[in-house]
Structure 1
């Protein structure tokens, strides 16, 4: 009878109070995760974990461990542990670089056998591109004629370079690259545009000088 009473009490504890496997009473809950665009080709992802105990109001010093897991590879990207303040809650966040494909992550919070998991996603980085694959300066458009090519995708600020500055120079303002004919000589110049994302995307177009 004594053994049955002990088993019954343990069952009540697990059912009503959510005891962890180390005997910790209470519950651990992750709030809704967030994914915030930093505007530089990275996202800030994170969530807040809250530990509650039905019989304890002072929850200072409860240790909670966070993990960020890449769902595509099931790889733990980062682990962080800290102790709670008096309200039993604290958050954790990470900076995640965008990729050319969407990314999915799991945020896991655990404490003494109690655990909660939430998923969060980071959208794909827009592919860097230019409006025209080729710009032509005719022989009736002498130096220093200027033409522009619009840029889209990727992450600003953009930069550009010319394969032959003696024939054509380049500059970037906002979402456009300006090409200035620097010589009345003929030839072809390749202009390369690069974005500021962590992946450093680049694209190019040709400039034909007649």
Structure 2
């Protein structure tokens, strides 16, 4: 049995008029969803007819907002091209090319700016960049993740993030910043509250 429905913008009484208004609003929302689906299918069909990829940009490409087309991404296009060239030589298997891309070249999956601030993703990505010799990029990721973590009272994976941060500073020769960071970490550890479980 339907009772009265009360929302912040409108309330529906359990009467013939209230049920009529509710049906109109449900019909309107169904129309909106169906119309959105049709427009999406029409847009993807137009992309296919023009020879473009209808969904997410392939690796090595990005969507250009101005031209509404996929264009080569300067950072990754040449790397992906080199990977395909290695594959076409016939001397490497797919697993060997994957190893070369990840370990030797430091190539990795695409992450959004927000994902690179996660304490679970940032240390691993920064470590791989650091191992590939891309110290400035690794330092940028670590600084971004640390800035997000600073406001939190509990830092889950801060130790691995701190280790990568210290190694970045060490490789760049920023000894003053490294000393300041080590001392501030030491002070944080000493001033941390102690839990008495007795």
Which range, TM-score by smaller chain? under 0.3
Which structure is larger by alpha-carbon Rg, 1 or 2?
Answer: 1
More helix by percentage = 2
Q: Tell me the TM-score normalised to structure 1 length.
A: 0.18
Give the structure with the larger strand fraction. Answer: 1
- Between 1 and 2, higher relative CO (CA 8 Å, sep ≥ 6) is seen in 1
